[in-house]
């Protein structure tokens, strides 16, 4: 979410009754705060915040996300999340986002203050052949890890139990995940104060 820098440090509440009704469970996380069905986070010095929504057993479709500014003037903004059916995809490894707003280096800044967190996050899709269903897979990047001055964390979304989302350590590098029924899995990389560049 992107607001005016005049709201820097203010708290916003993120929720979605539609998404919560569409999924068996929904967690909202921003690497500082975690919430079930909603989360309150601090806007960074640019008036922005990034939140990850992890839904389990969700019904495909469109869900409205609501963001409420907690102090006056109590503004509300709405966004739309589209959940698609799982499908077999082309094989390969892809990092997202390739761009983010005016940022062209590919990372999403999740915060630039202590309250909002000082880190960047990348999402990596690992897509293989469905013949490898339920097989373990690993991911790592020495160059990306070395760019992070305050540490890093790899997180496999196929196994998030007990993992910390905050940078500063890695729960095993390479990170390990499990391929789904289409031969795919997703990893998150959270780096503390990552230096600009194009690591491999």
Tell me: pLDDT of 48 over 80.
yes
Query: How far is the C-alpha of 43 from the C-alpha of 69, rounded, in Å?
Result: 10
Question: What does pTM read for this prediction?
Answer: 0.71
Handedness of CA 161, 167, 168, 172 (dihedral sign): positive
Q: What is the pLDDT of residues 60-77, one digit of tens each?
A: 999 999 999 999 999 999
Query: How far is the C-alpha of 69 from the C-alpha of 135, rounded, in Å?
Result: 43
Higher-pLDDT residue of 143, 169: 143
What are the helix (H) ranges across 26-74? none
Query: How far is the C-alpha of 74 from the C-alpha of 177, rounded, in Å?
Result: 41
CB 46 within 8 A of CB 8: yes
Tokens 């880190």 locate to 119
* Residue 20, pLDDT score: 94
Confidence of residue 177 (pLDDT cuts 50, 70, 90): confident
Determine the average pLDDT of the residues in 148-174: 63
Q: Which two tokens stand for residue 56?
A: 């389990």
Sequence spans of domains, the chain = 5-83, 92-192
Range in 25-34, 87-96, 110-119, 183-192 with the lowest mean pLDDT: 110-119
Nearest CA among 124, 146, 131, 121 for reference residue 51: 121
Cβ neighbors of 142 (< 8 A, separation 6 or more) are none
């Amino acid at each position: 979410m992107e607001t005016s820098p005049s709201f820097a440090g203010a708290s916003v509440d993120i929720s979605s009754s539609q998404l919560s009704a569409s999924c068996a469970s929904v967690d909202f996380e921003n690497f500082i705060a975690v919430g079930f069905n909603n989360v309150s986070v601090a806007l960074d010095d640019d008036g922005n915040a990034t939140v990850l929504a992890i839904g389990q057993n969700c019904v495909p479709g469109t869900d409205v996300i609501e963001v409420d500014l907690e102090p006056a003037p109590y503004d509300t903004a709405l966004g739309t999340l589209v959940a698609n059916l799982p499908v077999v995809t082309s094989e390969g490894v892809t990092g997202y986002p390739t761009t983010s707003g005016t940022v062209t280096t590919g990372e999403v800044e999740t915060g630039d203050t202590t309250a909002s967190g000082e880190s960047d996050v990348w999402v990596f899709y690992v897509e293989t052949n469905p013949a490898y269903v339920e097989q373990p897979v690993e991911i790592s990047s020495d160059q990306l890890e070395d760019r992070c001055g305050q540490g890093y964390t790899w997180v496999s979304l196929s196994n998030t139990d007990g993992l910390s989302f905050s940078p500063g350590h890695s729960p095993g590098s390479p990170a390990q995940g499990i391929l789904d029924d289409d031969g795919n899995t997703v990893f998150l990389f959270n780096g503390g104060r990552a230096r600009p560049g194009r690591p491999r």
